[in-house]
A and B are shown apart, each in its own frame.
Chain A
């Protein structure tokens, strides 16, 4: 109801729009997404992976913090164009994309590679990748001709975990040591959804869910998982007088 009244007001009230035309949209919005990303990064548990992974945030977690999905997508793409943010295809869901800050990624990868023979190749790859390229996957032509890598160098990159096999002759960009992350993430998501489903009437207040004790299956912070299930629309968010209510949506794949 609130959105409808706001839209009706928008259509009929011209003067207010003229006055606030100056102080809106562009400058604020980029800063908005960056601050949301930084907030979500704080929810990521570093110690769990012995500090070998950069903090990973999922793109749909941003949808739970901001109303307008289209503008979130646009701003994420802008940040990727400038080379500040990197996006990865995680593999368990064609729509789930992981976002990592470029400096974090570079720092962790080089930290992981320190002392290994593949360090040089990886450095070269990162140098080519970070400022200019915003692709999610690479095929053989691109690697050989554009980036001027040899076959053995490509093998080294796959071994170091920066590239994962997609199919014959093409590779996904990936985060080294992210297998454990994906495993814990999927288990945790299933466990949290199970908590919502088992509650009376299949719904639970968000504050109550945050306060619940996490089972051994849930390795991440509860809030991280809650942003994930809201953003991926696996639960329905209903505003009530006692706060936000999360209701399990039937027909989920999980």
Chain B
């Protein structure tokens, strides 16, 4: 560590290098911390979490009871013991616009925290005004809405991609309120949609028909390509399974932070890493990634570390894999029931995970322990800091001995 600091100071190393090394060290020491807690508001499982991009201060959560809660993650009290308070709630009794059934996805508006969008199994997607907590816009659909996503980099458009029970992916425009743009190509329910963080017109969608399509929304005719797990080698599978991304339903999608790679998870208990420009399967073998989710699985990738890590909910723990090596680094155990979603805070390298046990757990990097030397010198200098148990105090020997 000292060598890194010296190299940074003298200009031998790039400034990014020290930051990356320290971020990696922090991610590798993630642990449950008894000092950090998140308010427990939900009465039923938590399906989705989202941390806003601007400050990284506010977190949204959506639960199976239809309730949406906003938490303040910043620690303004001077004590290390801190509970992330819930600032406001869109609750069942308080608000009459609340979702009737389970909220599946929530997302902050990518450019400021004045607005957020939530979609739910009550077949609606609502755009909320954070100030008044009332929906400014509501979109009705024909089937359960599994997921939605707004592009994090888009400046020219404000399209929300929505995946529902219908095999057609719908694009809703927030500026005009129209929803005529439809992407056709899937044959099953759409379980997950994701915009690329690199290009504002590239969209990936995953469906129960085992296929993942990559679309360019500016093109009128069909998808750019589908992801093929065998990279075109038709001899490896049975003929029905040709051109599929997984041997089961594909229920999770996540782009890496630079948008160059795409991760997909499927109910065949596999996770695959793809080159997002060519659609090639990089054949990184993560082993068995247990996946029994019937709806979408929300997982996340770290940012600013080298090597990058993938955090996947696996049963009642969160598995951490190295992104390009495929090895299992550790399992974060702490939840009492299935984990449904996890979200990475890039500035503090913290992980928040929510699950069916109604808890949101914060995984915080363990700080370096103070050196033993410092403690000793403190007690010599201080003397008032009585680290000794009064029963062992020397109260009877005199100074002359």
- Where the two chains meet, the residues of A that have a C-beta atom closer than 8 Å to any C-beta of B are 1, 3-4, 7-8, 11-12, 14, 63, 67-70, 72-74, 89, 94-95, 135-139, 166-167, 170, 233, 251
Contact = CB atoms under 8 A, between A and B. Distances in A.
A1 B332 CA distance: 11
B377 interface: no
Contacts of A138: 235
Contact of B283 (A63, A70, A95, A233): A70
A170 B239 contact: yes
Contact of A94 (B25, B238, B239, B283): B238
Interface of B: 1, 3-4, 21, 24-25, 28-29, 233-239, 241, 247, 283-288, 290, 292, 306, 322, 325-327, 329-330
Nearest to B241: A94
Contacts of A4: 28-29, 329-330
A157 to B, nearest CB: 16
B327 A68 contact: yes
Given A94-B237, A166-B239, A167-B239, A7 B285 contact: no
5 contacts: A3-B330, A7-B28, A12-B25, A67-B327, A68-B326
B238 A8 contact: no
A3 B285 contact: no
Contacts of B239: 166-167, 170
Contacts of B238: 94, 166-167
A11 B287 contact: no
A69 to B, nearest CB: 4
Contacts of A95: 247
B329 A7 contact: yes
A3 B330 CA distance: 8
A69 B235 contact: no
A16 B115 CA distance: 51
Contacts of B292: 251
Contact of B236 (A72, A136, A139): A136
A63 B288 CA distance: 12
Interface-central residue, B4, B285, B290, by most chain A CB under 10 Å: B285
A1 B283 CA distance: 26
B249 to A, nearest CB: 15
A147 to B, nearest CB: 14
A97 to B, nearest CB: 9
Given A11-B21, A11-B25, A63-B287, A135 B329 contact: no
A68 B328 CA distance: 10
A135 B306 CA distance: 36
Given A63-B287, A251-B290, A70 B24 contact: no
B48 to A, nearest CB: 24
B327 A73 contact: no
A233 B288 contact: yes
Contacts of B233: 135
A8 B329 CA distance: 11
Interface-central residue, B233, B239, B284, B330, by most chain A CB under 10 Å: B239
B235 to A, nearest CB: 4
A135 B1 contact: no
Interface-central residue, B28, B235, B283, by most chain A CB under 10 Å: B235
Contacts of A70: 283-285, 325-326
Contacts of A167: 238-239
Nearest to B247: A94
Interface-central residue, A8, A11, A63, by most chain B CB under 10 Å: A11
B388 to A, nearest CB: 33
Nearest to A94: B247
A8 B307 CA distance: 11
Contacts of B306: 11
